[in-house]
Structure 1
Amino acid sequence: MASLLLCLVLCSYYSIVHGGGDDSFVTVPTSSFEPNPVCSQERVHRHGPCAPSPPTDKPTFADTLCRSRARLNYTANVAPTDMRSHGDVKASIPTHLGSSLNSLEYVVTVSFGTPAVSRVVVIDTGSDLSWLQCKPCNPGECTAQKDPLYDPSHSSTYSSVPCSSDPCKKLTADVYSNGCTSNGKQCGFLISYADGTSTSGVYSKDKLTLAPGVVHTVSGLYDGLLGLGRLSESLGAQYGGTVSYCLPAVSSKRGFLALGSGRNPSGFQFTPMGTVPGQPTFATVKLAGITIGGKKLNLRPSAFEGGMIVDSGSIITGLPSTAYGVLRSAFREAMQAYRLVPNDQLDTCYDFKGHKNIVVPKISLTFSGGATINLHVPNGILVNGCLAFADSGLDGTTGVLGNVNQRTFEVLFDTSSSKVGFRANAC
């Protein structure tokens, strides 16, 4: 299927993502954690396991978490309050965990322009504008990527958006405007991200092709981003405002991105969708309770009053201080057989060396309306040996449901009905 992509960027953005005696706990082999990615014979990433020479600028896990923490800190400073009906799936493509890129974000391969040129892009429910690094780009302005910069002059379907047009005026209303270029003829845009990076360029149209089965392995740096937020500029809005995806637990598995409706109309648990005042991009849900190791944590509803942004672009789930402190204590108690180790970004990390198997407590999140998700064990709870939760700030502030907790669920955003759905074991 094809659609019109409404933005191509001329500058840069850098993205940095059973069994047991007690059914409240799961015994898992340490080999079941996110494995080392398999080498691709077609493309080799400069940070990947098949690189011809040792990388000198490979991002560390701490670097990745630092970017995620910056995003979490940003969203924690906004406070929340309150897509269209299902139709046929308009497009569905595989998603992959970007672990071979050391990012822990999720990517899809799509094609741009006519003739079509494939590119790897991050999927992000916390962004509206979609973009791609393009020519021309001055030295130092574009981030290094495996694929060549996209050249819009080679596409017969490319055109820039006029500065006097309604779509350009809408950018100003949604705080994405960056004035006009080329003597006032072309519409410019600017996006600033929570980690301090930004991207700018010419707001443009070109053909975007979403085809099933185009991704088999993840390789190469990201070439751009697909914005799946709530505003009219997002790709999801062009498909009736209904978007769903499933994020795989490990890089050897494939998930999917579906535009137009859910992949499967049955099997969802729904919870009301809220919004963030002054931040209409974000969709929120309200947590009602947390269960760990079969025991519901003793937390008042006021602990979750700020709601949680459902964000595919954040790695770690952020909980307000009271809720996080109680969860952390319960998790540490359940994991006391393993040695805690220091980490600059997360405070509950373990050394599992020497253990062939470990016992992990199940964690369930219950949302308003009763929707309950049982997090994948172990890769929906632990990331690089660390509890995939963090303190997002004072009670009443907005939290974040990060992509680690979302793994293996189909997450459906339906703006017309103002609800978010979860379907278990979808990928």
Structure 2
Amino acid sequence: MVTSFSFYAIFIFFFLTFLPSINTAAANSKHPLFAFDLIHRDSPLSPLYNSDSTFWDKAERLYESSIARNAYIASKRRLGKSHDVNVDNFFFFLAKFSFGSPWVDVFAVIDSGSDLLWIQCNPCENRQPQTGLIYDPTKSKTYTNISCGSLNCMSDHHTYCDTNNVCGYRNYYVDGSYSYGFLGIDSVLFTNPDGSTVASYVTFGCGINNKFSSQGHLAGVLGLSATNLSLVSQLQGDGPQQFSYCLGNASDPSSKGNVIIGPYAETSGQTTLFTFDNLYHVNPIEIKVGSKSLNLSPKVFGPPGNVILDSGTIYTFLPPKVYRKLAHAIRKSIRSFKVHSIPHPRPGMLCYKGNIGRDLNGFPTVTIRFQGNAELVLERWSIFINDGKERFCLAFASTGGSIRRSIIGTMAQQFYNFGFHIDTQELSIIRSVCSIIPNPTM
């Protein structure tokens, strides 16, 4: 996964279980439901679909990109406001939605740390090969520019004013990718589970000079960071400000997820508090392998808020002391299974010859418990990451330094719904099948 930094805040947000599960529900007619599906990047419905290769064929680069993202997030204290969107295919799910008038279907990467929704637009400088339609603001009957004097333009110091008094933005990425464009307003169409649709006007970034490593297959980035310019804030009604996202099974291309924005987002489950500074910070207090606690010291994760819940990092990064304890417990537990340890290019990483589904049936869970009563109970598909070649590795890594921020990555977030109460800064976590069903009151 590729990390990024910018002059505009944008950040890029995705079972096999016997635990109780829930279905996320639609809103009633008084409060429109702003929801959209997340499609697996290897699904035949995805513009990135390639029958000859899969997400797991890039396992080595998944690890390298996660290392790079972890290092970049650790540097954010020095760099200030920035974003870390992944544009190099190292993500699980894509958001699909319709934009403009007439409607154009677009696919975008989601990220729980970025705010602005931006999409690729015509006229497009530095054009790359395209596999689908591109949004053209000159052909949309509902599009309007945002002037430099508007509150939306002035809400972020990384925007700029062009010679035509149009508010612009610039995003730069560590891998050399970038997006330049301007802010505008147009309509986004959401389809409810009962088949009805609801549209809403939103402020977004219209990218006219873009360089992706995804070669034009994706239309842009949809951020879920709750700043003024994000859809999370723009689509709130008169009820409590909240949203949820649910990530399906990364190992199953047919699996889906969803994002729901508004007062009726799914926010049931066990709760913990979070803090927000364009990233969502949580406070883990215990990790168990099976029933045995790692007996962590209270300050082992650093100061409060030093752990980030991030949809843009594949691996979960832990402080060195925590990682060593976890790795030791995993080594002990795996001895009773018919797999063999094999070297990994990175010192300290645990890799084995074998198959997660065939060889690890009954492997003990890893439980991450947070302040409050929320927890993530991870089974084998979330503990290990498969590379598709009879080899799998532990989906955890060391931050490489005691002062770095830890990250709860997307492998650990599979099969769970995360509900964010923005007003109270409360996060609910519940095991979920990640489907949206109509509310009987509708």
TM-score range, shorter chain: 0.7 to 0.9
Equivalents in 2 of 1:262, 1:390: separation in Å?
Answer: 36
**Aligned 1:88-127 pairs, distance under 5 A:** 103-127=90-114
In the alignment, structure 1 residue 366 sits paired with structure 2 residue 369: yes
Q: CA RMSD in A?
A: 3.5
Q: Which structure 1 residue ranges, 4+ long, deviate > 6 Å from structure 2?
A: 13-19
Q: Is the 8 A contact 2:12 2:222 kept in 1?
A: no
Equivalents in 1 of 2:281, 2:382: separation in Å?
Answer: 20
Equivalents in 2 of 1:70, 1:104: separation in Å?
Answer: 14
Change (3 A) 1:260 1:401: same
Equivalents in 2 of 1:115, 1:36: separation in Å?
Answer: 26
**Farther off after superposition, 396-405 or 106-115:** 396-405
- Partner of 2:155: helix, strand, or coil? helix
1:135-184 superposed Cα distances (whole Å, 9 cap, x missing partner):
122236x5x44223321211111122112222111121xxx32x222x24
Deviation at 1:355, TM superposition (A): 8.3
In the alignment, structure 1 residue 149 sits paired with structure 2 residue 152: no
Change (3 A) 1:323 1:44: closer
In the alignment, structure 1 residue 253 sits paired with structure 2 residue 233: no
| Cross-structure match for 1:417 | 424
Equivalents in 2 of 1:374, 1:61: separation in Å?
Answer: 23
Paired letter, 1:108: A
- Partner of 1:134: helix, strand, or coil? strand
Work out which of the residue numbers 57, 67, 70 in structure 1 matches 2:68.
Answer: 70
Equivalents in 2 of 1:18, 1:197: separation in Å?
Answer: 34
1:325-345 superposed Cα distances (whole Å, 9 cap, x missing partner):
111111122223422334446
Change (3 A) 1:357 1:393: closer
1:172-226 superposed Cα distances (whole Å, 9 cap, x missing partner):
1xxx32x222x24111112334656432211111111122469xxxxx9321111
1:103-128 superposed Cα distances (whole Å, 9 cap, x missing partner):
33321210010111111111111111
Paired letter, 1:75: I
In the alignment, structure 1 residue 180 sits paired with structure 2 residue 151: no
Equivalents in 1 of 2:264, 2:375: separation in Å?
Answer: 18
**Farther off after superposition, 283-292 or 320-329:** 320-329
- Partner of 1:380: helix, strand, or coil? helix
Work out which of the residue numbers 381, 391, 395 in structure 2 matches 1:388.
Answer: 395
Q: Is the 8 A contact 1:262 1:412 kept in 2?
A: no
1:276-315 superposed Cα distances (whole Å, 9 cap, x missing partner):
xxxx211100010100122110210111234311111211
Paired letter, 1:273: F
- Partner of 1:281: helix, strand, or coil? coil
Q: Is the 8 A contact 2:243 2:265 kept in 1?
A: no
TM-score (norm 1): 0.74
Deviation at 1:361, TM superposition (A): 2.3
Q: Is the 8 A contact 2:74 2:404 kept in 1?
A: yes
Q: Is the 8 A contact 1:135 1:152 kept in 2?
A: yes
Identity of aligned residues (%): 28
Equivalents in 2 of 1:18, 1:201: separation in Å?
Answer: 40
Work out which of the residue numbers 196, 212, 218 in structure 2 matches 1:222.
Answer: 218
1:52-85 superposed Cα distances (whole Å, 9 cap, x missing partner):
xx99xx9833233322222211222357xxxxxx
- Partner of 2:121: helix, strand, or coil? coil
| Cross-structure match for 2:351 | 349
| Cross-structure match for 2:120 | 133
**Aligned 1:207-246 pairs, distance under 5 A:** 207-212=187-192, 221-240=217-236, 241-246=241-246
| Cross-structure match for 1:61 | 59
- Gapped regions of structure 2 (runs ≥ 5): 1-9, 19-39, 78-85, 196-215, 387-391, 435-442
Change (3 A) 1:36 1:106: closer
Q: Work out the number of aligned pairs and report it.
A: 357
Q: Is the 8 A contact 1:130 1:225 kept in 2?
A: yes
Change (3 A) 1:311 1:193: farther
Work out which of the residue numbers 302, 307, 321 in structure 2 matches 1:305.
Answer: 302
Change (3 A) 1:110 1:371: same
Deviation at 1:16, TM superposition (A): 13
Equivalents in 1 of 2:228, 2:140: separation in Å?
Answer: 25
Deviation at 1:246, TM superposition (A): 0.7
Q: Is the 8 A contact 1:147 1:223 kept in 2?
A: no
Q: Is the 8 A contact 2:109 2:221 kept in 1?
A: yes
Paired letter, 1:424: R
Equivalents in 1 of 2:64, 2:13: separation in Å?
Answer: 9
Change (3 A) 1:228 1:287: same
1:258-289 superposed Cα distances (whole Å, 9 cap, x missing partner):
101454454x11111123xxxx2111000101
Paired letter, 1:391: S
Change (3 A) 1:157 1:59: farther
- Partner of 2:149: helix, strand, or coil? coil
Paired letter, 1:65: Y
| Cross-structure match for 1:162 | 147
Equivalents in 1 of 2:331, 2:185: separation in Å?
Answer: 51
Equivalents in 2 of 1:64, 1:270: separation in Å?
Answer: 30
- Partner of 2:278: helix, strand, or coil? strand
TM-score (norm 2): 0.72
- Partner of 2:373: helix, strand, or coil? coil
